[in-house]
């Protein structure tokens, strides 16, 4: 799913962790739960409009991603203080796979054809296996524009939960 879903989930998990435990256990619980949440959220991402590759020629795709990026930035700014631990932990898998590992692979570890980097240590490879094993029954809306509706519904639900908890 999109970064905003992970951001809001991290906020909720940090609020709950800080209500349940005292320092330093609240921080530890936040980190663990937010990290694990990424696996569950991405495992069900097939119910959302989430193409595997950029579709820069598709106006709908471009507009949707501009909206998602802007909202993600806005909510990061709104919630970064004091929920940065939950936000960072919930997005760590994407930071690792899509930023750190891609930079390392693009500079140092290329496959023999020199075009594609290996996926051996991508965390998302493991998430894909979870999706196939436990969530194969979900409809695949990754390339269907109607797939934005489940994501909007989930984001709205997360915002309502944050409003209730605060």
pLDDT in tens, the chain (166 residues): 899 999 999 999 999 999 999 889 999 999 999 999 999 999 999 999 998 888 999 999 999 999 999 999 999 999 999 999 999 999 999 999 888 887 777 776 655 455 554 545 788 888 999 999 999 999 999 999 999 999 999 999 999 999 999 8
Number of domains in the chain: 1
Quote the pLDDT of residue 119.
Answer: 47
Q: Which residues constitute the domain of residue 8?
A: 3-165
Quote the pLDDT of residue 110.
Answer: 57
What is the Cα–Cα distance from 102 to 150, expressed in whole angstroms?
29
Quote the pLDDT of residue 104.
Answer: 77
At 65 the three-state DSSP class reads helix
Q: CB of 127 within 8 A of CB of 98?
A: no
Predicted TM-score (pTM) of the model is: 0.89
């Amino acid at each position: 799913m999109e970064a905003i879903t992970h951001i809001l989930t991290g906020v909720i998990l940090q609020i709950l962790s800080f209500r349940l435990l005292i320092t330093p256990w609240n921080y530890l619980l936040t980190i663990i739960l937010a990290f694990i949440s990424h696996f569950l959220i991405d495992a069900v991402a097939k119910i959302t409009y989430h193409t595997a590759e950029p579709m820069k020629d598709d106006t709908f795709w471009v507009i949707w991603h501009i909206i998602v990026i802007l909202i993600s930035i806005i909510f990061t700014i709104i919630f970064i203080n004091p929920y940065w631990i939950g936000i960072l932990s919930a997005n760590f898998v994407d930071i690792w796979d899509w930023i750190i590992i891609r930079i390392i692979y693009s500079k140092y570890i290329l496959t023999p054809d020199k075009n594609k980097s290996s996926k051996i240590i991508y965390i998302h490879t493991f998430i894909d296996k979870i999706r196939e094993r436990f969530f194969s029954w979900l409809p695949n809306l990754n390339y269907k524009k109607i797939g934005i509706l489940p994501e909007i519904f989930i984001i709205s639900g997360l915002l309502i939960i944050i409003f209730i908890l605060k």
